[in-house]
Structure 1
Amino acid sequence: MSKVTSSAPSQRMLRVGEQVRAAITQVLQRGEVRDDLLEKTVISVSEVRMSPDLKMATAYVTPLGVADHEGVIAALNRNAKFIRGRIGGQLRQMKYMPEVRFRDDTSFDNYRKIDALLRSPEVRRDLEEPDASTDDKPE
């Protein structure tokens, strides 16, 4: 009997990911990480994706008000082991503490591009033109 695999995350992966996201957010809010760059940066943790075996957590973060996202991401990855240790106290129900890695969340940039596209004159023009195929014909 073969096991059916799916690319969608399981409910357990989603639940654990949300718990890890909340724990990372608390560690960053309290300023427990001693890094000059991280101490003066506000960081939004938008999502944490868990691997199927729950041993790897990929945290998607957005540094707010900072032009150099790469530097902040590198600082978070340098301190990943410390952060993993700090979130361990909040996730005691887990058999294994997941290894944490940080990635830049580019979804806000994608939303901004889509918004700019939808507000472009070409799209506005297409929305304002009456559609020739739906003429008001009496029935």
Structure 2
Amino acid sequence: MAKNRFSNHSGPSQRQLRVGELIRRTLSDVLNQGDIHDPDLNRLSITVTEVRPSPDLKIATIYLIPLGGEQREEAIAALKRNKHELRRALSRQTNLKFTPDLRFLIDETFDRMDETRALFARDEVQQDLRGDSDEDQP
């Protein structure tokens, strides 16, 4: 079945991808430069891993992780407290027609990767991968 631009199951549009990357880079710069006047936020080292704008570009979901994966709740709380200032910085530093509303979530991709590595390291999984099970023996 061919997908078209009206399909609900298609991935993000090129426009969403471009806007998401622009927001990601700009927010990363704003956070790294300490442009936000909140000491709690400025003491955290936050990596913005991905930004997913909604199809209408009015909402941007920001996926992030604090350095070392620690202080997740504090990072989210500080970003939510400073959401309006972050939107203003985005508005000043980008040429977007409308600055989207920002939603902040912890990126759990790295946690899932660690869980997958641990799963593959288990003896019974290694045995299955090698094909050393008793049924294969003559």
Task: Classify the TM-score, shorter chain.
Answer: 0.7 to 0.9
1:41 equivalent among 31, 41, 44: 44
Cα offsets for 1:57-104 (capped at 9, x unmatched): 110000113533011101101101101101112211x22111112111
Alignment check: 8 A CA contact 1:24 1:83 kept: yes
1:59 equivalent among 54, 58, 62: 62
The SS at the match of 2:84 is helix
Bigger CA radius of gyration: 1
Aligned to 1:108: 110
The SS at the match of 1:74 is helix
Question: Alignment length, in residue pairs?
Answer: 131
Cα distance in 1 between the residues matched to 2:7 and 2:33? 39
Q: Which runs of 5+ in 2 are unaligned?
A: none
Aligned to 1:18: 21
Displaced runs of 4 or more, over 4 A: 130-133
Cα distance in 2 between the residues matched to 1:111 and 1:86? 33
Aligned to 1:83: 86
Cα distance in 1 between the residues matched to 2:42 and 2:15? 32
The percent of aligned pairs where both chains have the same amino acid is 40
1:120 equivalent among 119, 122, 126: 122
RMSD: 1.9
The SS at the match of 1:65 is helix
User: Structure 1 length as normaliser, TM-score?
Assistant: 0.85
